[in-house]
């Protein structure tokens, strides 16, 4: 991205695009904090603002109180600073201190707000790095007076002046006015691959369907699959959802339900409802651009293989499978206008390969080989496993009906991740054309679909 032409630098546009986004995110953070405390805020910072687990928890525990010091109207004062500043003057500008973003013990006073701004405008426009040297000094001032915060991606406008919030000054803000700010970068990538109209339509489709924008490389793969569809190939929309396990209300507005695993119904379960929401929106996108597609979905019948699981929900394997079959029949009735194929994943697709592939994937990951995971997602797989184990403890303990040790939790996460690896491998073996895998929730463990497959996965936000 080169210098910004002065004709599209618009101070008012900066205000219009930044203030609502910042305020909206602030309100969501406050709501999550109120409803779910440190754990809820930590999850939001990891899943949406894409912080590392350690940094997210540190901010959730220590920085939230400083967020309340920010006077939002004062953000508007940055416009005048932006218009008159030069690069030489930038380090002395008052806008960061006005926002409550001054240094405190060689850290930004409000690290949460800095991350929010990077999230809203994109790291291409606003990025910051706290030097390792500064961290090492703790509360003592470095003797050499070195800068302790660096801004590596400050673009220059046509007057060679620094613009701290460049993304808002670019035309993409006008083009993507209906998109949330964090989606803009990936919408731009979609436009590069698919063209302006289709790329923007895809981005809006994901927003409307409450689908999490995937990592950039996965987003590129989604676009390439759609490009193949535009060239005449049939795009497979596929995925597997959980049986209709019992659940209960939590009283939390952010996560209103949680599984109890005390029984098994024969209707459309919580995760299946996510597919009910996603599928029609994705189908409309395909049809609007005459992209041939096929919808093929499966229920996780393999969960009947566990005698403990069957006993916990109060039925034998035969009854478990009967209820899964009835769930599929019920699923058809809630999407009557959409042609689709439904089946059991193990019995109708995987067969004898199912357990073999799980065992192979489990052994592979246990040995430290995570294939393409880190390259495609940008995440450290070991840290992701640790995070899932720590933050999904109640889920796994409800599922297994007892308290679990740290080692048991890690083993369960890897075992479940191996199932996700196997699912995606089997889909890729069965379908030679372009495919997009869909997931109903738990984006972090669905990311393990990337270990041995290049089929991209789109995961719904958990809104049930």
pTM higher than 0.75, yes or no?
Answer: no
How high is the pLDDT of residue 189? 86
Distances, alpha carbon 230 to alpha carbons 152, 226, 286, 306, 437, in Å: 38, 6, 9, 43, 18
Return the axis-axis angle of helices 381-391 and 406-430, rounded to nearest 10°: 120
If phi over 0 gives left and psi between -120 and 50 gives alpha, with beta otherwise, what is residue 401? left
Q: CB of 388 within 8 A of CB of 444? A: yes
H-only helix segments in 160-315: 166-169, 172-175, 184-194, 196-208, 216-230, 270-288, 307-313
pLDDT at 195: 87
As a residue count, the chain comes to 464
CATH 3.40.50.620 fits 209-459, yes or no: yes
> CA 18, CA 115: separation in Å to the nearest integer?
14
DSSP letters along 288-323, please?
HTT--EEEEEEE-GGGGG-HHHHHHHT--HHHHHHH
Q: Is 307 exposed, middle or buried (0-12, 13-18, 19+ CB in 10 A)?
A: exposed
Residue-level pLDDT at 93: 35
User: What is the structure's pLDDT at 298?
Assistant: 98
CA distance 59 to 223: 34
pLDDT per residue rounded down to tens, the chain (464 residues): 333 322 233 333 444 455 566 667 777 777 787 788 888 889 998 988 888 888 888 878 765 544 444 444 444 444 444 444 433 333 333 333 333 333 333 345 556 767 877 787 666 656 677 665 544 434 344 444 444 555 565 444 444 444 434 333 333 333 444 566 567 678 878 888 998 789 888 988 998 898 999 999 999 999 999 999 999 999 999 999 999 999 988 887 767 888 888 999 999 999 999 999 999 999 999 999 999 999 999 999 999 999 999 999 999 999 999 999 999 999 999 999 899 999 999 999 999 999 999 999 999 999 999 999 999 998 999 999 999 988 888 888 888 888 988 899 999 999 999 999 999 999 999 999 999 999 998 899 999 999 999 999 999 987 66
Give residue limits of the domains in the chain.
6-174, 176-208, 209-459
For residue 82, what is the enclosing H or E element?
A: helix 78-84
pLDDT of residue 197: 84
β-strand pairing of 103-104 with 107-108: antiparallel
Query: What pLDDT does 56 receive?
Result: 87
């Amino acid at each position: 991205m080169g210098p910004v032409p002065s004709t599209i630098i618009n101070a008012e546009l900066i205000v219009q695009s930044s203030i609502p986004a910042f305020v909206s995110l602030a309100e969501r953070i406050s709501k999550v904090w109120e409803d779910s405390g440190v754990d809820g805020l930590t999850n939001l910072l990891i899943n949406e603002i894409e912080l590392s687990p350690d940094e997210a928890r540190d901010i959730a525990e220590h920085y939230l109180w400083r967020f309340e010091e920010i006077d939002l109207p004062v953000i508007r004062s940055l416009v005048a600073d932006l218009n008159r500043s030069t690069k030489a003057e930038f380090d002395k500008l008052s806008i960061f201190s006005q926002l409550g973003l001054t240094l405190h013990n060689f850290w930004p006073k409000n690290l949460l707000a800095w991350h929010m701004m990077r999230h809203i405008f994109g790291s291409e426009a606003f990025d910051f790095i706290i030097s390792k040297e500064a961290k090492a000094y703790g509360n003592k001032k470095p003797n050499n007076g070195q800068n302790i915060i660096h801004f590596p991606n400050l673009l220059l406008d046509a007057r060679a002046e620094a613009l701290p919030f460049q993304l808002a000054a670019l035309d993409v803000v006008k083009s993507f006015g209906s998109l949330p700010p964090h989606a803009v970068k990936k919408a731009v990538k979609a436009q590069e691959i698919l063209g302006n109209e289709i790329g923007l339509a895809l981005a809006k489709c994901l927003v409307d369907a409450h689908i999490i924008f995937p990592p950039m490389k996965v987003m590129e793969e989604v676009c390439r699959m759609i490009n193949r569809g535009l060239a005449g190939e049939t795009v497979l929309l596929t995925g597997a959802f959980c049986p209709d396990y019992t659940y209960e209300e939590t009283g939390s507005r952010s996560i209103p339900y949680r599984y109890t695993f005390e029984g098994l119904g024969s209707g459309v379960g919580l995760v299946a409802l996510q597919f009910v929401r996603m599928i029609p929106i994705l189908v409309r996108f395909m049809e609007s651009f005459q992209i041939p597609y096929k919808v093929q979905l499966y229920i996780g019948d393999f969960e009947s293989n566990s005698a403990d699981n069957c006993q916990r929900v109060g039925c034998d394997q035969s009854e478990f499978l009967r209820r899964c079959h009835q769930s599929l029949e019920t699923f058809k009735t809630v999407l009557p206008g959409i042609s689709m194929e439904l089946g059991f994943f193990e019995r109708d697709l995987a067969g004898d390969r199912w357990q073999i592939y799980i065992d192979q994937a489990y052994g592979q990951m246990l040995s430290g080989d995570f294939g393409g995971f880190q390259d495609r997602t940008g995440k450290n797989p070991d840290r992701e496993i640790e995070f899932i184990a720590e933050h999904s403890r109640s889920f796994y303990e409800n599922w297994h009906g007892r308290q679990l040790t740290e080692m048991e939790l890690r083993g369960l996460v890897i075992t479940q991740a191996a199932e996700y690896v196997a699912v995606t491998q089997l889909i890729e073996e069965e379908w030679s054309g372009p495919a997009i895998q869909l997931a109903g929730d738990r984006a972090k463990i669905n990311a393990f679909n990337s270990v041995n497959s290049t089929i991209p996965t789109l995961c719904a936000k958990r809104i049930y």
